[in-house]
Structure 1
Amino acid sequence: MMRLFLLLLCLNLTLPITLYAQSDQPTGTITVDDNAETDAAIANRIRDIIGELDGYGDVSVTVSSGIVTLRGTTLDATKATALNDLVGRVQGVVAIENNVVESTEVLERLNPAVERFMARFWQLLAMLPLILIGAAVFFLVVMLGFWLARRKQPWERLSPNAFIADIYRQIVRLIFIVGGLVIALDILNATALLGGILGAAGIVGLAIGFAVRDTVENFIASIMLSIRQPFRPNDAIEINGDEGKVIRLTSRATILLSWDGNHIRIPNATVFKSRIVNYSRNAERRFLFEIGVDAGEEDLARVRDLAEDTVSDLPFTLEKPAPNVWVDRIGDGSMVMKVTGWIDQTETSLLRAKGEAIRQVMAAVAAAGYDMPNTTYRIEVPEGLKGALTNFDVTTADDEPEGQTPADTGPAQPQEPAPPKAAETLSAQSVETREDELDEIVEIERAETERRDLLKENGEQE
């Protein structure tokens, strides 16, 4: 088996060589006569043929008994191998000995390059008028496209905002550039180059797209946000835990002004995929707080009604939606209630309204005689420390009144607590909104970067 395998391997290796050799040699019938005149005629015919072809000036031909021997050098190896096919077509050729090799002379190899360069140079000079005409047409078409893109109409009429209008303008510029290039190449009769240029541009664009996919994602998200506009300038929003007022929307990020006056820059791709809470969309907004009451089961309803009436009587509280109070859970030694109320946040500050509501409800509950929870902690002392703590006196002379010793001090007399006073009701102006300063900062920021803002005050919202 091993011998058979080696034999087959040798046949496979030698078969292409044999076929190649046979294909290079003449396949006609060999005559019996050997004539010197025929050999000379064959040699002269071959010399005449290769003399008319470029690249065979250093090739010599000899013929003996129909066997052609070729010697010399060429500038290209393919030309040397092409001689076999050419000579084999001459009648009377029995075999071919091709000893032509590729030349390594520097001057011989440079001369054709110089000749090709000069030929192309003169060809370029001949084509120069057409090139100038093509370039002029290209620039005219491009300038027309740029002039059309700079116009306000119809792009602002077709687009929902300035950002989309700029995208339309970029598309128009690109169309006119490609159109001008096609017209210029058609004048030069070189439209075949356009396919190669567009193919190379597509490959480069694909590579750049993979390299800057985050930027592309932000750009697409900017387009969607500018069209949908889930928020407007100066809206109070929350995105992934970041709260603040909207300053602007750029082509890459959404800029917020936090309640501390800091800038928060959030990529638009994150904004588009995140949960957005818009506190300014509705004028009505609810405040909520908890109170604890040390009351029995029978008094819970009274405390609930008292808290609800107190919140309802506040001048800044809206009648609809109405305030609401309910028992939420059992706390540490108290019952915990939740109190809610609604305000118009365009006229009233949420934080100040909530604080005033807490103050009024606590005062009303205390005035009604209900105690607030007082958490008591029990401390257990080990038996071994009880005696030491009994003999330990923490009272010092600095703690006693002048002229009086601890022995003269009698037991502390209980003091009657002062009766609770009803809380003074504040007017609506006292809890008016205090966000005007932030609004002014936002307006200043927007005025400085108005051209880069993709939001509109009266833009359509989803």
Structure 2
Amino acid sequence: MPVLVRFAPGSMARVILLALLLVSGLLATLPVEAMQAADAVAPAQAPTATEPATDAPPPDDIRGRFDFTFGRVAARLAELAAKLPLLLVALLIVAFAAWLGGFVSRRLHLLRLRTDNPYMDALIRNVLRALLVLSGVLIALELLQATALVSAVLGSAGVIGLVLGFAFKDIAENYVAGVLLSLRQPFAPGDHVVIDGNEGKVVALHSRSTLLMTLDGNELRLPNALVFKAIILNYSRNPKRRFDFAVTIDVGQSIHRAQSLGLEQVCRIEGLLSDPGPSWSVQEFAPTGIVLRFFGWIDQRHSDLGKVRSEAIRMVKAAYARAGIEGPRTTYHLLTARDESRGAEVRGDAEPVLGTDADTSVNRDIDAQLAEAQQAADGGANLLERGPDAR
């Protein structure tokens, strides 16, 4: 059954280039083989008038030069026609190697080389295809007895590669960084990250760049070398995320009442986690007001951080308005001497003196998540871990 070999446009161009390389190698070997054949068959035979001497110097007249040139061209064409079947066999070997490279690279699972990383799969596929095609080219050159051309090509490729290495240093650096990022995988598609101050969601990791979609819907492309060296903040690696917001009340309001009412409203929000539970703190006590800060945790897989935070602020503000808890005043009150003689007035809603049974224990909300992250961390010893003899 005949086998139909199909090539993509890019692969067809590479096959044509390899064919030209084989033809040039064959043409480079023709003069040497022609001289060797002439020496073996008739070493003492002088060239006749009808057979121009290919090694003799060209005559001085114009007609003699034309005859000499056409004679050399005819001799080379005759040698090429004699070796045409061998050249066709060499081209078939290269074409078969190119087809075999594509066939094997598309079936990595049969070789047990397939990984869960599509980027590494593409890299292994390209390396296998290149090795098989290179093997076919070497076999074809050996068949044409043009292996001397390989040394010349490799020597030239070394010099050209050195020049191109300096010229395309950034491209090579981005490509190597892409391979290392693919192996390490500090983020996954869809993760919410901040890379070197650029915030967005990961779209894809390409060979030379990382594609992000900003929260505004714009496409952001970062070089892999920059991503590899930058500080990466990944919001999506841990599904639990904390939100917080601040509320400022008047200095004359009861802190205990405000925090109790605020926590009650925060706990009523849908999507709030009970472990870790919500908390609060007094952030600042200033002449203009008392700043209270509330904290809560959500599961990012089921709740949106911005929506939950917005709803929490709305509910606390509405509850304070119903309870008569005022915010900071923007007006100043002047006390006259008559007011000072009366003494300081005590507000009716002043906060009662409480005991010292407030919770001041260490916050362990992060510790459990930190332990899970340390157990799931892959690769390398922890350089922060002390040995048994460390003090």
Asked if TM exceeds 0.5, the reply is: yes
Cα distance change of structure 1 residues 139 and 328 upon mapping to structure 2, 3 Å threshold: same
State whether structure 2 residue 269 is matched by structure 1 residue 269.
no
> In structure 2, what is the equivalent of residue 327 of structure 1?
282
1:244 aligns with 2:227: no
Question: Given residue 169 of structure 2, which amino acid in structure 1 is its aligned partner?
Answer: R
Confirm or deny that 1:198 pairs with 2:151.
no
Residue 104 of structure 1: how far off its partner (Å): 6.6
Inter-partner Cα distance in structure 2 for 1:330 and 1:249: 48
For the Cα contact (< 8 Å) 2:190–2:203, is it kept in 1? yes
* Cα distance change of structure 1 residues 175 and 352 upon mapping to structure 2, 3 Å threshold: closer
Residues 416-461 of structure 1, C-alpha deviation per residue, up to 9 Å, x if partnerless?
Answer: xxxxxxxxxxxxxxxxxxxxxxxxxxxxxxxxxxxxxxxxxxxx99
Counterpart Cα distance in 1 of 2:184 and 2:321: 51
Q: How many angstroms apart in 1 are the aligned matches of 2:87 and 2:309? A: 78
Q: Is the 8 A contact 1:295 1:371 kept in 2?
A: no
Give the one of 339, 345, 355 matched to 2:310. 355
Query: Which of 135, 149, 152 matches 2:105?
Result: 149
**Residue deviations 1:268-307 (CA, integer Å, cap 9, x gap):** 33333322222222222211111112225x9435534443
Q: 1:316 to 1:183 in 2, by over 3 A?
A: closer
Give the deviation of 1:218 after TM superposition: 3.0
Q: In 2, are the aligned partners of 1:231 and 1:461 still within 8 Å (CA)?
A: no
Instruction: Report deviation, 1:194.
Output: 0.8
**What is the rounded CA distance, in whole Å, between the counterparts of 1:217 and 1:333 in structure 2?**
55
Identity of aligned residues (%): 38
TM-score (norm 2): 0.61
CA distance 1:129–1:357, change in 2 (3 Å): closer
For 2:144, the equivalent position in structure 1 comes to 188
Following superposition of structure 1 onto structure 2, how do residues 80-99 of structure 1 map, counting pairs within 5 Å? none
Q: Which whole-Å deviations, capped at 9, do the CAs of 1:342-399 have from their partners, x for residues lacking one? A: 1223332222221222233334445555431012379xxxxxxxxxxxxxxxxxxxxx
SS across alignment from 1:245: strand
Superposition pairs for residues 403-442 of structure 1, below 5 Å? none
User: Aligned residue for 1:178?
Assistant: 134
Q: Is the 8 A contact 1:366 1:372 kept in 2?
A: no
Query: What is the CA distance between 1:338 and its match in structure 2?
Result: 1.7
| CA spacing shift, 1:256–1:155, aligned 2, 3 Å | farther
Distance 1:200 1:329, change over 3 A: same
The Cα of 1:176 is off from its aligned counterpart by: 1.8
Q: Residue by residue, what CA displacement relative to the aligned partner does 1:146-175 show, whole Å, maximum 9, x if unpaired?
A: 322232424674333222222222212221
CA RMSD of aligned residues (A): 3.6
State which structure, 1 or 2, has the greater radius of gyration over its C-alpha atoms: 1
| Residues 185 and 336 (structure 1), Cα distance of their counterparts in 2 relative to 1, 3 Å cut | same
Pick closer, same or farther for the CA change 1:258–1:155 going to 2, 3 Å.
Answer: farther
Equivalent position of 2:382 in the other structure: none
Residues 366-385 of structure 1: matches in 2 within 5 Å?
Answer: 366-376=321-331
1:15 aligned partner:
none
Aligned equivalents of 1:137, 1:347: Cα separation in 2: 58
Residue 311 (structure 1) aligned with residue 229 (structure 2): no
Please say if 1:283 is aligned against 2:245: no
User: Whose relative contact order is higher, 1 or 2, with alpha carbons under 8 Å and at least 6 apart?
Assistant: 1
What is residue 342 of structure 1 aligned with on the other side? 297
TM-score by length of 1: 0.52
Q: Which amino acid aligns with 1:260?
A: D
2:80 corresponds, among 124, 129, 149, to 124
Q: Which runs of 5+ in 2 are unaligned?
A: 1-43, 47-55, 334-376, 380-391
8 Å CA contact retained: 2:250, 2:327? yes
Counterparts of 1:19-98 in structure 2 under 5 Å?
none
